């Protein structure tokens, strides 16, 4: 009994979900609500002016801007970019201590207390979405009171990045388990997805044909960032085909 229950307790349902995100670039308005939501959800500190000037800001998600045309006939396109959770992640094989790896659900995991801070992973990431903690993070009072207890504070000397809100995945699994049901599509809402007013982002199990994300991927509008590198990201961008 204990055996089965434990398996269930850890979300060990028969099917292993394969997490993916679809971001509709035709919907994104570049408002950066996702950027803010991510920082507050995941205890991502601001770097401060001096450190920022040295390029040491941390943004687990950022909005890339693309301009088309000449001023004033200009068209701006926005692309939210976070860790692409690659199936063939260039960051993983270069880590000498296995602090970053792909788990069974397709997440590119970063284990903070395993990380020894070589920074090889960040150097090998074509999407520049990995951030190194040069200093221990600080929050001026009373901002320290808003920290999310479900997410560990990363100490100085370790790498961090978007986790696909792994803690929210965990929470959704435990909630479903406590209610004695299977995880349903839409149960897991990463902070960025949850906060997007344009509903540009969708998250879910891409191997469940009925999930929203699977339907988006099959829409014929989906592509990946730097697809030619063969990194096989789990983040898909939807765009009207030209």
Where do contacts with other proteins occur on this chain (CB under 8 A)? 1-3, 5-12, 101, 103-104, 107, 109, 111-114, 150-155, 163, 166-167, 170, 174, 177-178
Considering CB distances under 5 to 8 angstroms, the limit depending on partner class, which of other proteins, ligand SF4, none binds residue 178?
A: other proteins
CB nearer ligand SF4, residue 30 or residue 157 = 30
Angle at 116 between CA 115 and CA 118, to 5 degrees: 110
d(CA 242, CA 238) in angstroms, rounded, equals 12
Does residue 128 belong to the site contacting ligand SF4 (CB under 6 A)? no
Does residue 82 belong to the site contacting ligand SF4 (CB under 6 A)? yes
What's the closest the beta carbon of residue 166 comes to other proteins, in angstroms? 5
In the list 20, 22, 28, 238, the residue contacting ligand SF4 (rule: CB under 6 A) is: 28
Q: Say which residues have a Cβ less than 8 Å from residue 94's Cβ, sequence separation at least 6.
A: 120, 121, 123, 124
CB nearer other proteins, residue 33 or residue 94 = 94
In the list 8, 11, 13, 31, the residue contacting ligand SF4 (rule: CB under 6 A) is: 31
What's the closest the beta carbon of residue 37 comes to ligand SF4, in angstroms? 6
32, 63 Cβ separation under 8 angstroms? yes
Output the CA torsion 164→169→171→176 (10° steps): 160
What's the closest the beta carbon of residue 161 comes to other proteins, in angstroms? 12
Provide the phi-psi class of 226: left if phi over 0, else alpha when psi is between -120 and 50, else beta.
left
Considering CB distances under 5 to 8 angstroms, the limit depending on partner class, which of other proteins, ligand SF4, none binds residue 29?
A: ligand SF4
d(CA 113, CA 209) in angstroms, rounded, equals 36
In this chain, which stretch among 75-83, 89-97, 112-120, 169-177 interacts with ligand SF4, using CB under 6 A?
A: 75-83
The radius of gyration of the chain from alpha carbons, rounded to an integer in Å, stands at: 19
Of residues 186 through 205, those in contact with ligand SF4 by CB under 6 A are 190-192, 196, 198, 200-201
Considering CB distances under 5 to 8 angstroms, the limit depending on partner class, which of other proteins, ligand SF4, none binds residue 90?
A: none
Provide the phi-psi class of 114: left if phi over 0, else alpha when psi is between -120 and 50, else beta.
alpha
d(CA 40, CA 59) in angstroms, rounded, equals 11
Q: What H or E segment, with its residue span, contains residue 121? A: helix 120-124
d(CA 36, CA 38) in angstroms, rounded, equals 5
Of residues 139 through 168, those in contact with ligand SF4 by CB under 6 A are 162-165
Does residue 235 belong to the site contacting ligand SF4 (CB under 6 A)? no
What's the closest the beta carbon of residue 239 comes to ligand SF4, in angstroms? 13
């Amino acid at each position: 009994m204990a055996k089965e229950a434990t398996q269930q307790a850890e979300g060990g349902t028969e099917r292993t979900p394969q997490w993916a995100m679809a971001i509709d670039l035709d919907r994104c308005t570049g408002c950066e609500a996702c950027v803010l939501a991510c920082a507050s959800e995941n205890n991502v500190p601001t770097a401060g002016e001096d450190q920022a000037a040295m390029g040491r800001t941390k943004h687990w998600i950022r909005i890339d801007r693309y301009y088309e045309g000449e001023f004033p006939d200009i068209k701006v396109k926005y692309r939210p970019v976070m860790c692409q959770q690659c199936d063939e992640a260039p960051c993983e094989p270069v880590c000498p201590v296995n602090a970053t790896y792909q788990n069974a659900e397709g997440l590119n995991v970063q284990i903070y207390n395993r990380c020894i801070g070589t920074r090889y992973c960040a150097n090998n990431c074509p999407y520049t979405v990995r951030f190194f903690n040069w200093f221990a993070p600080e929050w001026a009072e009373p901002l320290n009171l808003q920290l999310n207890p479900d997410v560990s504070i990363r100490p100085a000397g370790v790498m961090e990045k978007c986790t696909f809100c792994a803690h929210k995945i965990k929470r959704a699994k435990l909630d479903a388990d406590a209610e004695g049901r299977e995880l349903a599509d839409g149960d897991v809402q990463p902070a960025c997805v949850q906060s997007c007013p344009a509903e540009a982002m969708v998250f879910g199990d891409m191997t469940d044909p009925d999930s929203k994300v699977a339907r988006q991927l099959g829409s014929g509008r989906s592509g990946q960032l730097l697809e030619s590198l063969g990194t096989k990201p789990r983040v898909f961008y939807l765009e009207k085909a030209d």
